[in-house]
Amino acid sequence: MDELLLEWHGRNARDLPWRRTRDPYAILVSEVMLQQTQVERVIPRWLGWLERWPTAAALAGATPAEVIRVWQGLGYNRRALNLHRAAQAIAAGGWPKDLTDLPGIGPYTAAAIRNQAFGEPVLPVDTNVARIQERTAHEFGPTALQALFDLGATVCLARVPRCGACPLAERCPARGRRYEPLRRQSRFEGSFRQRRAAMLRIVAEAPQRLATLDAEAVAALERDGLVHVDGDLVALPARRRA
């Protein structure tokens, strides 16, 4: 099946900018941004991020406040701090042999960097890859990674796969099946996540008095290291080095 998939991908690959580089830092940034964020939203933000901070050393030299401000709009702001801390670790000691030693980097992201940046024969398995392998009952090789990403995003969809457009359909035991709707993520509108995001957005513009803010949301942001509370003043963390 790998050959069929790769042949299809040669004609249908998405043109994504991080596929044009082997720079592990650039790929790290893309992988962190792509966690729970749509590709279309990530592309301009990834390009802008690398224009501002083209290397891990450049990002390491930024303040947490600068990083949080630039990250605004991508959501899940702790990812920004983890990326910043990872850049500091890389700038100080280089890329570790075990990439999961970097702050915020789990086995999947480590495998994605090893495959895409270092050319190692590992296959990172995200939701799309796992779904395709389960449906086809086939274990794909590492060279099929980008093709699997694209097939999962455009053809082998979670609920109603487009089997008629799938290059693997004739050999797929799940061909024609439909699936129950996935459990939806809790609504953002009116949620505590929205309250947190609103408070962080306000504080990112300028330090604020705690008495004027949502104290519960600010406390959660402080626990995550996203804001600093000094008496009655709430501000973004400004310390340059972790």
Residues identified as active-site: 31
- Distance separating the N- and C-terminal Cα atoms of the chain: 47
Q: Which two tokens stand for residue 215?
A: 């104290």
Closest CA to 221 of 208, 239, 206, 235: 235
Secondary structure of residue 230 in the 3-state scheme: strand
Cα distances (Å, whole numbers) of residue 11 to 1, 7, 8, 170, 197? 16, 7, 6, 19, 41
Alpha helices in the chain (DSSP H): 2-12, 24-34, 39-52, 56-60, 64-71, 78-93, 107-116, 127-136, 145-154, 192-205, 215-223
Measured between alpha carbons, how far is 62 from 55 in angstroms, rounded to an integer?
A: 11
The set of residues, in sequence order, having a beta carbon less than 8 Å from that of 150 and lying 6+ positions away, is 9, 12, 13, 14
